């Protein structure tokens, strides 16, 4: 069979016949050319469709029109080489596939199609969603920092509110407000923790908010950290100590207290047979003493007007005597000395059980209000801190310590001062604790300046 050229002329002898092209289809181009070929007008290049090798085209007879079923209709503005004036049909999209191992280049103005699996070419993680590879927005860090700063600032404001308005906290249920007030100075530790977190988070907002609790704490307790004033001529040194009814060494305890050389020593839980030991050990330096029930007073100065105080709660029916009153004839005039041991409190599932203590504090407050001697010193284990509202009948009438924390209970790791020294027409200039004895309380020494 004679080979013919595309225009129907016979091919020269020995000359390879040109490739026959089906009517309506452009000639096949090399893969290298196709990689650089932009998408046809109106149709972006497709890279996601699977492509197969081009099937061999049948040789149409003369005069045959464009091939049917070869793909979509011809695009506008194109012309077939076999049939001038006619538009060739598009090649199937499968014919546009690049050679294996090559990556097609998208047509200008088009976006790369996502690869199978939803990942864009060259990307190692999804562009959206919540996967592990999701990029974090640049503003996420500052937003989180601001959120943390707001939380720390809110905590600082709440801490300041508890310090300044602890009296407004309801005391029911369970008298929890009294618990808060007993440990109120320890909110300073909370402030330090908040300050450390603010530095760690580098939060200017939290640091600025911390000014409030710092100022509140300083106004309540800052003065206790200052050094005490110099002693004057009209001052007394007093010691208050709950010696414990289980003290294994009452004689050693008495000697330790006398070593501080106070003018007055007030003791609680003085029981037999330790009572005689205290009296005998202290007799040389403290010739004047009195004991009523389980409380006692030893003095370097004469005592007069000694009597027991009735501060027993109504719910206690057995014998109970934990208070006394005496007038001390000091070189600076008379001073009424009160020694008291208020009922213990217990913290349980129902809250703080302090009803008996509060009632006893009210009775003691009434006795102080009726006292005719102008200058009064109260020494005792009051089972409450000076901030505790349960002791308001006392703190509203007497002055508390101006300097020193003197945490006295428990002796192994003291966290509160429930051993108190208060005064009227006198100032408790400074309090401090003495070395531990055989008791579960630490002794408290106080300098009282008479007015």
Q: In 10 A of CB 81, how many CB atoms?
A: 15
Average pLDDT, the chain: 80
Q: In 10 A of CB 62, how many CB atoms?
A: 6
* Residue range 273-307, pLDDT digits in tens: 999 999 999 999 999 999 999 999 999 999 999 99
Beta strand pairing status for 333-341 and 323-330? antiparallel
Per-residue pLDDT, 347: 77
Helix axes 250-258 and 274-282, enclosed angle (nearest 10):
30
Residue of 178, 179, 181, 182 whose CA lies nearest to 162: 181
Per-residue pLDDT, 295: 98
* Residue range 20-32, pLDDT digits in tens: 555 555 555 555 4
Q: In 10 A of CB 416, how many CB atoms?
A: 20
Measure the CA–CA gap between 37 and 51, rounded to whole angstroms: 16
| 73-82, 203-212, 244-253, 255-264: least confidently modelled range | 73-82
Comparing 134 with 436, the larger pLDDT belongs to: 436
Residue of 405, 409, 386 whose CA lies nearest to 397: 386
Per-residue pLDDT, 112: 56
Per-residue pLDDT, 142: 63
Per-residue pLDDT, 77: 47
**Could you give the residue ranges of the DSSP H alpha helices within 370-420?**
392-395
How far is C-alpha 418 from the geometric centre of its chain's CA atoms?
28
Per-residue pLDDT, 67: 44
> What is the value of pTM for the model shown?
0.68
Average pLDDT over residues 103-130: 52
Structure tokens at 196: 């450390």
Per-residue pLDDT, 124: 47
**Element holding 199 (H helix, E strand):** helix 187-201
Of the pLDDT bands very low, low, confident and very high (cuts 50, 70, 90), residue 146 is: low
Structure tokens at 241: 């100590």
**Residues 11/13/14/18 CA torsion (nearest 10 deg):** 0
Per-residue pLDDT, 230: 67
Average pLDDT over residues 35-52: 51
Measure the CA–CA gap between 64 and 83, rounded to whole angstroms: 10
Of the pLDDT bands very low, low, confident and very high (cuts 50, 70, 90), residue 51 is: low
Structure tokens at 427: 């100032």
Structure tokens at 267: 């003791």
Are residues 232 and 449 in contact, defined by beta-carbon separation less than 8 angstroms? yes
DSSP code of 44? Answer: -
Average pLDDT over residues 224-244: 87
Instruction: Label each residue of 142-185 as H, E or C.
Output: HHHHHHHHHHHHHHHHHHHHHHHCHHHCCCCCCCHHHHHHHCHH
Per-residue pLDDT, 323: 98
Average pLDDT over residues 38-58: 52
Angle, alpha carbons 19-20-24 (nearest 5°): 130
**Dihedral sign of CA atoms 344, 266, 280, 328 in order:** negative
Structure tokens at 415: 């966290």
Structure tokens at 233: 């001529």
* Residue range 2-20, pLDDT digits in tens: 555 555 555 555 555 555 5
pLDDT at 148 over 80: no
Of the pLDDT bands very low, low, confident and very high (cuts 50, 70, 90), residue 172 is: confident
Which residues partner with 223 through β-bridges?
A: none
Are residues 323 and 291 in contact, defined by beta-carbon separation less than 8 angstroms? no
Residue of 376, 355, 354 whose CA lies nearest to 365: 376
Q: In 10 A of CB 302, how many CB atoms?
A: 12
Per-residue pLDDT, 173: 79
């Amino acid at each position: 069979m004679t080979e013919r050229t595309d225009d129907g002329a016979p091919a020269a002898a020995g000359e390879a016949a040109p490739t026959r092209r089906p009517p309506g289809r452009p000639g096949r181009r090399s893969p290298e050319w196709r990689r650089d070929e932009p998408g046809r007008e109106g149709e972006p290049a497709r890279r996601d469709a699977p492509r197969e090798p081009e099937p061999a085209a049948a040789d149409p007879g003369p005069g045959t029109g464009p091939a049917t079923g070869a793909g979509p209709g011809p695009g506008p503005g194109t012309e077939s080489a076999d049939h001038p004036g006619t538009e060739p049909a598009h090649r199937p999209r499968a014919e546009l596939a690049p050679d294996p191992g090559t990556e097609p280049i998208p047509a200008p103005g088009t976006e790369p199609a996502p690869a199978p699996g939803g990942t864009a070419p060259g990307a190692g993680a999804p562009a959206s969603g919540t996967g592990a590879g999701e990029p974090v927005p640049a503003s996420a860090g500052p937003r989180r920092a601001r959120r943390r700063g707001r939380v720390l600032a809110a905590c600082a404001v709440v801490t300041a509110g508890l310090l300044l308005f602890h009296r407004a906290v309801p005391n029911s249920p369970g008298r929890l407000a009294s618990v808060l007030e007993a440990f109120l100075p320890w909110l300073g530790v909370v402030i330090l923790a908040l300050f450390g977190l603010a530095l760690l988070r580098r939060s200017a907002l939290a640091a600025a908010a911390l000014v409030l609790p710092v100022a509140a704490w300083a106004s309540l307790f800052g003065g206790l950290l200052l050094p005490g004033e110099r002693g004057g001529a009209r001052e007394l040194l007093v010691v208050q100590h709950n010696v414990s009814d289980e003290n294994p060494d009452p004689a050693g305890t008495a000697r330790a207290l006398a070593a501080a050389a106070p003018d007055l020593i007030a003791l609680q839980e003085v029981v037999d047979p330790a009572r005689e030991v205290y009296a005998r050990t202290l007799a040389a330096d403290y010739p004047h003493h009195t004991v009523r029930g389980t409380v006692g007073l030893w003095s370097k100065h004469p005592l007069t007007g000694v009597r027991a105080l009735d501060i027993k709660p109504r719910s206690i029916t057995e014998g109970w005597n934990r208070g006394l009153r005496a007038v001390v004839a000091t070189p600076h005039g008379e001073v009424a000395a009160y020694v008291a041991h208020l009922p213990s409190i217990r913290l349980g599932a129902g809250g703080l059980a302090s009803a008996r203590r509060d009632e006893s504090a009210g009775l003691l407050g009434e006795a102080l209000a009726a006292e005719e001697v102008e200058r009064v010193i109260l020494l005792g284990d009051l089972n409450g801190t000076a901030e505790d509202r349960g002791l308001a009948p006392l703190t509203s009438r007497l002055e508390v310590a101006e300097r020193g924390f003197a945490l006295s209970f428990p002796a192994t790791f003291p966290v509160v001062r429930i051993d108190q020294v208060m005064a009227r027409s006198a100032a408790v200039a400074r309090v401090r604790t003495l070395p531990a004895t055989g008791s579960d309380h630490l002794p408290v020494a106080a300098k009282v300046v008479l007015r």
